[in-house]
Amino acid sequence: MYLQKRGRINRKSEAIRSLVAETHLMPQNFIAPLFIEEGKDITHEIPSMPGYFRKSLDLQIPDIRAMYQLGIKSILLFVKSDDALKDNTGKESWNDNGLMQKSIKAIKDAVPEILIMTDVALDPYSSYGHDGIVKNGEIVNDETVEALIKMSLSHAKAGADFVAPSDMMDGRIGAIRKALEENSFTNTGIMSYSAKYASCFYGPFRDALDSAPGFGDKKTYQMNPANRIEAVREALLDEEEGADMVMVKPALSYLDIIREVKNAVHIPVSAYQVSGEYAMIKAAAIHGWMDEEKAMMESLLSIKRAGANMIATYFAQPAALILNK
Ligand code: PBG
């Protein structure tokens, strides 16, 4: 057979495959999401996320130190709020002595070089489990943005490097940026969850924080999985409003969106490999149906190849261990 071009030449050995590889994963591309709960010496495995734990701060801090040593230099904090502290205003979220604020300070003290990002949305603090304030069954936009501003300022004051609004309210990035400026937090970044879809893949996360919506769903604020152009619009708006980076979430079912957004904006793009994506790989591995390590690395590589500069992932630690081998 005469062939002018043979694609297999560039695949014939490990040496040539690694020479022509277009995408490389590095531990510093990962953002590790962490679940924190009140107390001491507490570690709870999340039933729908085997191998992933919600921990009290004293146990979380040594982990964070270990992660930094592995090359994971960014963390994204979530806290589980006590039911007694939840209400419809979400006011616990801007309590300067709240669990989030205490955690930011303690982590900064213990591991000052780590980049701390914090989730900004009302759901863990809301008696309705919604990301915003509820009035007559509606999640009201403008009042919620006021609450998110207070929450962001309180995180910035505690020492957060980045606030990460995950609520999908309109206008919140511009409003938070303005408030940060006006309050002299000129070094605080904003990672906007710009294209966050109303996805069933968040199920295990809501188990982890006990934050499932008490009524209805999140479709009036999170995006319709059918839409692509809208994601680009949301990302461009957030860039214009002052976001330092934008995010697409979930990741694996939305690789096309990651690419579209990457091609449209002029700031870094992150993607969130969410709890349900982690759970799927874990579940298949536990049944012996897939090789866990390979599925983990292939999914992360695909997300990077799609255009994500960085990836928030529950696999940050095991993936970094493999990359450092
Ligand atoms: C809160 C928030 C959610 C996630 C991140 N921030 C849940 C939701 O929107 O219902 C999901 C993360 C995951 O599933 O890993 N607004």
**Residue 262 is encoded by which pair of tokens?**
């990457």
**Residue 235 is encoded by which pair of tokens?**
């990302």
Q: β-strands 245-249, 30-37: how paired?
A: unpaired
pTM of the model: 0.97
In the Cβ-directed half-sphere of 197, how many Cα atoms lie within 13 Å? Answer: 26
User: Is 148 part of any domain?
Assistant: yes
Instruction: Give SS3 for 306.
Output: helix
Residue nearest to ligand 1 atom 10, measured at CA: 202
Residue nearest to ligand 1 atom 8, measured at CA: 202
Ligand 1 centroid, distance to 157 Cα (angstroms): 23
Percent of the chain with pLDDT over 70: 100
User: Is 208 part of any domain?
Assistant: yes
User: Is 253 part of any domain?
Assistant: yes
Amino acid at 220: T
Q: Which of 166, 191, 200 to mutate to test the pocket of ligand 1 (most atoms within 8 A of CB)?
A: 166
CATH of the domain at 63: 3.20.20.70
Ligand 1 neighbours by CB, cut-off 6 Å? 119, 121, 123, 131, 166-167, 202, 205-206, 218, 274-275
Q: Which helix (H) or strand (E) holds 152?
A: helix 141-158
| Span 3-17, average pLDDT | 98
In tens, the pLDDT along 145-187 reads 999 999 999 999 999 999 999 999 999 999 999 999 999 999 9
Asked whether the predicted pLDDT for residue 210 surpasses 90, the reply is: no
Cβ atoms of 228 and 54 within 8 Å: the answer is: no
In the Cβ-directed half-sphere of 309, how many Cα atoms lie within 13 Å? Answer: 14
Confidence band for 37, pLDDT divided at 50, 70 and 90: very high
Percent of the chain with pLDDT over 90: 98
**Would you state the pLDDT for residue 207?**
87
| CA distances from residue 85 to 89, 95, 190 in whole angstroms, order as listed | 11, 10, 26
User: Is 162 part of any domain?
Assistant: yes
Per the structure, the count of domains in the chain is 1
User: Is 13 part of any domain?
Assistant: no
User: Is 48 part of any domain?
Assistant: yes
Domain enclosing residue 272, as ranges: 25-323
Measure the CA–CA gap between 35 and 211, rounded to whole angstroms: 12
User: Is 226 part of any domain?
Assistant: yes
User: Is 64 part of any domain?
Assistant: yes
Ligand 1 centroid, distance to 202 Cα (angstroms): 6
278 Cα distance to chain centroid: 13
Q: Which helix (H) or strand (E) holds 275?
A: helix 275-286
| Span 72-99, average pLDDT | 96
Measure the CA–CA gap between 201 and 250, rounded to whole angstroms: 7
60 Cα distance to chain centroid: 17
